[in-house]
Amino acid sequence: MCYLIESAAARAVKEELTAKEGALEGARNALVLGYQDPQAGAFVPASSVLLRTKMRTEKQEAVRRACYKGVRTIGPSVTPGLSEVVKMRNQLAKAQGFTSFYDMKCTQAEGFGEETLFGILDGLEERTRPLMEAARARVAAEKGAAALEPWNLGYALSGDVTAAQDPYFPFEDAVDAWARSFAALGIQYRGATMRLDLLDREGKYSNGFCHWPQVAYINGKGTFVPSQTNFTSLATPSAVGSGQSALETLMHEGGHAAHFANVLQPSPFFGQERAPTSVAYAETQSMFLDSLVGDAAWLARYALNREGQPMPWTLLEQGLRAKRPYAVLDLRAMLAVPYFERELYRLPDSELTAQRVAALADEVEMRIQGGLSPRPLLSVPHILADESSCYYHGYVLAEMAVWQTRAHMLHAYGRIVDEPRVGAALASVYWAPGNSQPFLGLVEALTGAPLSGNAWVTHLQEDLEAVVASEKAAYDVALRAGPARKAGQGADLNMRVLLVHGAQVVADSGAAGGANAEQRFALASDTFKAWVRARA
Ligand SMILES: [Zn+2]
């Protein structure tokens, strides 16, 4: 982000702000998180991730409650610094003519201001409010009113579907399933090289990531320069759920990679993740593609167990019934972040105190989520740092665009999974322009309508029995048709794939034998599968 700060006074404010932001970050990092063991009474150190996982999985309510209390200690550690930082961020933004810091960040990242943004979000908020209320009433009716307590909600909703479905997502088959389904969508990587380092190992950087040493572009001589992508994840193949999360990661990161492999612009500049390539624009691509893993049409074709049998309908139905009625609660949790930040940056300086900020967070949780949140707003890390503050709405806009794109394609082509026109449309409308065009314009160009929450709301409003019936019909059609490319048959994505483990190259489609790209990929994928199985 590049600020043009002209006056010396503004520069002084900026310097003081940077110091205060450092202190805020320091206060958050210095906090020792954990929970008070309700039986032994001892303090058990635990990260925020672990505390939230325990709230979903721990059987004893007293422990879950202690974990929630632990997460709530983040708030008091950040509110004094945050209230000061908010004042100064606003001061800087107002000096540059913006109504607030939120307005400035939104305008710089998205190309439109806070007012336009909330014009879009308000419609979604109003229309999903009754759905949120109905979902909470359903939880209370099915599992008792206590299930709505923030330390109980996640636990009450986390069934055992993940474990039951696990055998249908063998970890070693994830690369093959991703490549075959992308190829069947007509996705091409234009000669790209992709290096995948999927397994955890000692000393590996503890965060999955994806980066592009080279983005695609057309050079001064008119020659296309293909992209290079590296991505890593921290999978432990033996852990329950690891195959499904590997697959979702491949579909998601593979979506980002496909986007940046297909930018057809005269400079690598257009493939950089800078304005107007916003979070919303980038995530639309990856979230659209990973959304397919939830579709019966995809699961019936690609979710096969080690014997090659597809996931049975009963298991799929169990998952739908356990998750779909509560999907709106995820939307509301996402929406709470931008609403909190907007109101935070609208508080007059006289009200920017630690107590008021803490109270505001609770008020927004109650209003948007219907009760205190299992993930307290003040524990959301994005709200603190300059780069990540006031951008969370990007995920909401991306999800809106995903459902709008899906609805458009289902209407235009009758299907998405195994439909080659899907990849062609993504490549020509969403990907080729890179960041030469703004996000809202691209969504409208592909779907023929301005971005709205309509398609997402329609999806969430659909009656559960109607969803079960239509997914059953899609499942039956998919099972009869089978996948465009059978398991193990390989796929030609116009890409060289290296499967690596640190410095070790486990398999390389560029070096594999085989008469054509499809066979070379199949051989590399078989080598990788055998290597994973041998390690188990
Ligand atoms: Zn992403």
Across the range 195-210, mean pLDDT stands at 78
Tell me if 327 is assigned to some domain. no
How many angstroms does the Cα of residue 523 sit away from the middle of ligand 1? 29
The 3-state secondary structure of 240-269 reads CCHHHHHHHHHHHHHHHHHHHHCCCCCCHH
351 in a structural domain: no
Asked if residue 39 has pLDDT above 50, the reply is: yes
Identify the CATH number of the domain in which residue 505 sits.
1.10.1370.40
Task: Flag whether 97 is in a domain.
Answer: no
Predicted local confidence at residue 535, as pLDDT: 87
Report yes or no: 71 and 52 within 8 Å, Cβ to Cβ. Answer: yes
Ligand 1 center to 283 CA (angstroms): 5
The pLDDT assigned to 273 comes to: 59
Could you tell me the distance, in angstroms and rounded to a whole number, from the CA of residue 227 to the centre of ligand 1?
17
**Percent of the chain residues past pLDDT 70, beyond the cut:** 97
Q: How far is the CA of 281 from the centre of ligand 1 (A)?
A: 10
Residue 412 lies in a domain: yes
Amino acid at 478: A
Going from the Cα of 408 to the center of ligand 1, the distance in angstroms, rounded, reads 22
Residue 524 lies in a domain: yes
Most confident of 194-208, 209-223, 448-462: 448-462
> 29-33, 226-230, 266-270, 468-472 — which is least confidently predicted?
266-270
- Please report how the helices 61-72 and 74-95 are oriented relative to each other, as an axis angle in degrees rounded to 10: 30
For residue 1, the model assigns a pLDDT of 41
In this structure, the answer to whether residues 60 and 183 fall within a common structural domain is no
Domain that holds residue 42: 33-72
The answer to the question of residue 349 being in a domain is no
pLDDT of residue 268: 79
Residue 7, pLDDT > 80, answer: no
Mean pLDDT of 415-440: 94
- Residue 282 Cα to ligand 1 midpoint, Å, equals 7
| Tokens read off for 184 | 């069947």
> How many A from CA of 287 to the centre of ligand 1?
7
Distance 66 CA to ligand 1 centre (A): 32
For 437, the 3-state DSSP assignment is: coil
**150-159, 227-236, 500-509: which is most confident:** 500-509
End of a domain among 44, 72, 100? 72
Of 329, 321, 287, 335, the closest CA to residue 453 belongs to: 335
The predicted structure's pLDDT at residue 63: 95
Gap between the Cα atoms of 247 and 525, Å rounded: 14
Q: How confident is the model at residue 2 (pLDDT cuts 50, 70, 90)?
A: very low
Residue 274 has pLDDT above 60, yes or no: no
- On whether both 197 and 305 belong to a single domain, the answer is yes
Task: Report the separation in Å between the CA atom of 107 and the middle of ligand 1, taken as the mean of its atom positions.
Answer: 21
Task: Identify the pLDDT of residue 202.
Answer: 78
**Mean pLDDT of the region 399-410:** 98
235 Cα: distance to centroid of ligand 1 (angstroms): 17
218-260 per-position pLDDT tens digit: 998 999 989 898 888 878 888 878 888 889 989 999 999 999 9
Give a yes or no: residue 25 inside a domain.
Answer: no
Quick: pLDDT tens for 43-100: 999 988 889 888 988 899 999 999 999 999 999 999 999 999 999 999 999 999 999 9
Query: Into how many domains does the chain fold?
Result: 2
Place of tokens 């709008």: 404
Report H helices in 262-326: 279-290, 296-302, 313-323
Other C-beta atoms closer than 10 Å to the C-beta of 161 total 16
Closest CA to 196 of 229, 226, 168: 229
Distance of CA 233 to the CA centre of its chain: 15
Q: Tell me what the pLDDT averaged over the chain comes to.
A: 92
- 252 Cα–ligand 1 center, Å: 6
In this structure, the answer to whether residues 176 and 57 fall within a common structural domain is no
